Structure 1
Amino acid sequence: MSESNQSRDIFDAIADPTRRKLIQLLAEAEEIPLHELTVQFQMGRTAVSKHLTILKEAGLVLDRKVGRETRFRLNASPLREVQDWVAFYNRFWSANMVRLGQLLEEEEE
């Protein structure tokens, strides 16, 4: 984990499809209250809150109280670790595809 306030692995946090959907919803809005997030899923408020807690532990979600309401927003900076990991494998596969192309060209000659 790259940030000291993270207590959960970023890859563990994004492994669940519900949490990836939460990240998407938060990315599309500046800030969303819990009740608006909950209506997007076929699960209760408690279940959605548990998923948000996991995202918060990974540093992906920030929250703030506004009266009795809790609002959530995305902190995308921890996703840089995922982007870097994927970029490495993108370069790996690109290089292998170039080599494969060269081998196929050599076989045709």
Structure 2
Amino acid sequence: MSLQQKHEWAAFECVPYRLTRSLSDLNGYDQYTHRGMPAGAVEAVADLFHDLPSPPKRDPDELMEVYRLIQRFRRAKLPRDVFTARSFAKLVVAAREAVQVG
């Protein structure tokens, strides 16, 4: 995503080109394929935001460390279902803190 080109949304997928085959109306949008793994998702997010002028974290290794901190927080402090509003809000707060500390 460049600064000259504004994206309205982003799509992440674990299988290359499945998104294009499944949803032909998305042609023309960039795909960020994560291969179903956390490291792949981190790489995809790093690629998506590589042109931001001052992201809090740019290096995929730093982003992976934030992921590990959040994963430990989730296992220790949250219920199994993290897709409730309260659980997700707690994850967001923990992620912000992890980015600032890390």
- TM-score range with shorter-chain normalisation? under 0.3
Between structures 1 and 2, the one with greater helix share: 1
Higher RCO structure, 1 or 2 (CA under 8 Å, sep 6+) = 1
TM-score between both structures, scaled by the size of structure 1: 0.27
